[in-house]
Amino acid sequence: MGIEYDKPRLAGIISDAITNHFLEMIPKSPNAEEVRRILEEAIEVVVRTTAVLHDDFESRPAELLREGRKHSKANADRYLKLIMSPGSKAWGGPG
């Protein structure tokens, strides 16, 4: 490709934008199952979208997607606990 750019920073920007998009889909009074489905889909979209930023994506896409899924596996649980905790959006808290 032509120009140099900060790939980790771009991956973070993409990840934040996708995550925010999906978080807006969480209903005002969600249950854990709804939140988990939304979070898991958000994480999958982030993994797929940011995987293409790897220099060797074209030569090993399946491996990079598998690695991305493996590294992000705990994120759904962490985010679920955060969102469903008292004081969060799920309980009508600030935000």
- Domain positions in the chain are 8-91
Instruction: Identify the pLDDT of residue 89.
Output: 60
At 27-85, the pLDDT tens digits run: 888 888 898 899 999 999 999 999 999 999 999 999 999 999 998 888 888 888 888 88
Q: Which amino acid is at 26?
A: I
Instruction: Identify the pLDDT of residue 86.
Output: 77
Q: How many CB atoms lie within 10 A of CB 31?
A: 10
Specify whether the backbone of 92 is left (phi greater than 0), alpha (psi in -120 to 50) or beta.
left
Q: How far apart are CA 53 and CA 50, in angstroms?
A: 6
> Which pair of structure tokens corresponds to residue 14?
């993409």
pLDDT grade, residue 90 (50/70/90)? low
pLDDT grade, residue 1 (50/70/90)? low
Q: Where are the alpha helices (DSSP H) in the chain?
A: 7-23, 32-51, 61-84
